[in-house]
Structure 1
Amino acid sequence: MDKIVELIKQDPIRVDALKVVSQLALPQCYIAAGFVRNLVWDSLHNFEMHTPLNDVDVLYFDPDESNPDSYLFYEAQLKSCMPQLNWQVRNQALMHIRNGDSPYTSSLDAMSYYPEKETAIAIRQTAQDKYECIAAFGFKSLFNFYVTHNPKRSRESFENRVNSKGWLQRWSSLKIAP
């Protein structure tokens, strides 16, 4: 998605984060969720200052990884490069256990279980100044000011997240999708 890449390239922190994550060379590795979603919503609302990153969600998919604590090593590596960010690294090949789902088949499949569809978006650096964006539900609703419940998760969970995160207050033009 060219518009997302354009927005990312205008944000040096996000460019640097994508670079250090790419250096981990993990399979199907992306930065997901608010890293992308919030940047788009900030742009749609013409915010001059980006919403601060509470955390940076790094996901990868490695069904052959034998140590379930490998993510701690990757988080430490990322923290040593960019200590100002709160890194959250998770192997999506294992996350179905915690979430009570059937095994995920890929990073994209894992994102298809996120409580709101606009969060199921990710980006990675594939080469110098080259990026790949993926979205489990496409990009349209993200750019149309929607927050959409994912029926794979409970409506209550969705509503709790929307309310606790204050999205409708922060980005006042957002609407809950019908």
Structure 2
Amino acid sequence: MNNRPLYWFPLGILAVIAGLTFWLQFVVQSPRANIFSKDRHIADYIIEQFSVSRTNLAGQLIYTLHADHAEHFLDDDTTTLLKPHLIAHDDHQGSADVRAKQGFVTAKGKEVDFIGNVVLVRDAHDEQGPLTLTTEYLVAIPDARVVRTNKLVHVVGKSIQMTAGGLELDNQTRILRLTNKVKARYEPIK
């Protein structure tokens, strides 16, 4: 009987292990090995029909952020949004409702950037009525209840129409600051 296959079998297994070892060393040292490292901007999770809410200590709703699609990135802790919709709730000052084509949430959710066909409607509970703002870019700071832009903005209210090169709206103090090439038409409320 021929015993040569018994000798070749262990040698074959050693050759396969050696080949796998060389392959593994090549893969680990190649430039593509860092595809999932912290230096790469790759989404670590994706959410469809994204929704998040924030409440105060009494459990009252402060704001809600919705989006059709959200992608979170681990390297810089940011999130991109498709069709974001932010609703800031305030029983006394009125709510603010912001919508856009795209959005971007900074690390820890401190700011939300709205990009493309941005529409903000501030539903005031007073004689001035609602205020509608349209622009191409808007930064919202939900915890401070402030929105601002440095792009062309159109503001329309019950008795006023304005355009400006930028603005800042503080929903708590109800102060609207317009900057750069401001044009306004005001009709007193009767």
TM-score, length-normalised on structure 2? 0.21
Relative contact order: is structure 1 or structure 2 higher (C-alpha 8 Å, sep ≥ 6)?
A: 1
Q: Which has the higher helix share?
A: 1
TM-score, length-normalised on structure 1? 0.21
Q: Which has the higher strand share?
A: 2
